[in-house]
Structure 1
Amino acid sequence: MPIAPLPRASRRGLAQEAADLIREAIFTGHFPPGSPLREVELAASLGVSRGSVREGLAFLEREGLVRSAWHRGTTVIDVTEQDVEEVYAVRAALDRLAATSAQGNATADQLTELDTLVQAMAEETGGEASGTRLLALDIAFHDLIYAASDNGRLGAAWHAIRSQIYLFQLRRIALGYEHYRARVVDEHHELARLLRSGDRETLARRAEEHVDSARRSLLTGLHP
């Protein structure tokens, strides 16, 4: 019996493009935490329909990057103490599992790429260091660890909070850049080294401590 053909996959839509552009605008500080996101203005600026903007904002709401409320519209999430505690608690658990899983599954090429990212961080801090460029390398490092864990559901869990982490880390850098700059290379170098070792317990502990250091730094900046 012949199998009925499946529907053709649709091309990348305007809603996804709108989401990507709005996300990038949030990450570059065009829309700081707490800012309103107005459909009419966004549609005019992006040259797309309000429907595409509305769908794009729905994508970002699923990422936890924006919030919508009846009669109050859509806003970029605020960086509150409760939000920080919740998101970094989840990240600590995920990072621990990702690191210990990657320890046994990472390929030689992936381990080399982690070293390359750490070297790029070191070069960045040695010159006219940019917090946004350092953060991009930082997130790329963790993206690679999740990929090396070879656990698709774990990777999906990471991507569910990744945008929130990115925004919170941007806020951390804005409030305490020197603290971030002073620690970013050494902490990631140690994680890369431990991934090559057989010391699972130390790796797990350091992965959690790395997240806790970020959490404490951000909270100190929020409440100096």
Structure 2
Amino acid sequence: MGHMSSALPRAARRGLADEAADLVRAAIFSGHFPPGAALREVELAERLGVSRGSVREGLARLEREGLVRGGWHRGNTVIEVTAEDVQEVYALRAALDRLAATTARRAATAEHLSRLDRLVDEMTTEIAGGSDAHRLVALDIAFHDQIYAAAGNGRLTTAWQAIRSQLHLFQLRRVDAAYDHYRARVVDEHRELAALLRSGDSRTLARRAEEHVNSARLSLLASLSPVP
């Protein structure tokens, strides 16, 4: 019994660290903390109503997700969006998305496919209703989450999770820079992927999954390069 009671407080702290990570992540994705913004432990602990220890642990999680840069001397900051980071992350994403799509084509259930359709419908509704860019990006990421879930390969999903937070931030940056370009394509691109998962041939699906990522990468890189 002795060791059981000593384990309980640790479990509670771990829960608060998760919550702190979730809240800070949501604040980053809502644009409250833009790329490069400082994340101050004391301030966050006060605003979130948790201990500095929980905040520190939460920020360490976000650092592992690649969303936060930490350092003894310069403190924690939200990652910057650099061309080099974008090239690396989207090159990895293109390979993962290609594999996820072709695997999901064989493994997806009717329920997986109908969830994809529902997400495309929600995107359409969002755009018709004046469209909140941040909500649209969240639906976009959720759509791809579903493809990975449908593929059913745990290690592949882990690899996606490793870049997912950075991608979410990069997609927000892309949308901030070129929203009309994104909004004009987002529904059709995802509707096409959903259709190809149902009835397309594997080669076309693989190509379109990769092209979808490349168009996002090029759009984002164009917004990062200084205008001559």
TM-score by structure 1 length?
A: 0.94
Query: Residues 93-132 of structure 1: matches in 2 within 5 Å?
Result: 93-132=95-134
Other structure's SS at 1:15 match: helix
Question: Gaps (5+ residues) in structure 1?
Answer: none
Distance 2:45 2:224 in 1: 33
Residue 181 of structure 1 aligns to a residue whose secondary structure is: helix
Q: CA deviation at 1:109?
A: 1.1
Provide Cα deviations, 1:178-198, integer angstroms capped at 9, x if missing partner.
000000011001100100125
Q: Give the TM-score normalised by structure 2.
A: 0.92
Q: CA deviation at 1:126?
A: 2.2
What is residue 166 of structure 2 aligned with on the other side? 164
State the secondary structure of the residue aligned to 1:71. Answer: coil
Q: Are 1:145 and 2:147 counterparts?
A: yes
Give the Å deviation of 1:134: 1.1
Which residue is 2:91 aligned to?
89
AA aligned to 2:185 is R
- Residue 214 of structure 2 corresponds to which residue in structure 1? 212
- How far 1:127 sits from its partner (Å)? 2.7
One-letter code of the match for 2:222? T
Q: Which runs of 4+ in 1 moved over 3 A?
A: 7-12
Deviation of residue 70 (structure 1)?
Answer: 2.8
CA distance in 1: counterparts of 2:24 and 2:105, whole angstroms: 35
Q: How many residues align?
A: 219
CA deviation digits over 1:171-213, x for unaligned, max 9?
Answer: 0000000000000011001100100125000000000000001
Larger helix proportion of the pair:
2
Q: Distance in 1 between matches of 2:170 and 2:198?
A: 29
1:188 to 184, 187, 190: 190
* 1:157 aligned partner, one-letter code: A
Question: What is the match of residue 58 of structure 1?
Answer: 60
**Which residue in 2 is equivalent to 1:13?**
15
Q: CA deviation at 1:64?
A: 0.3
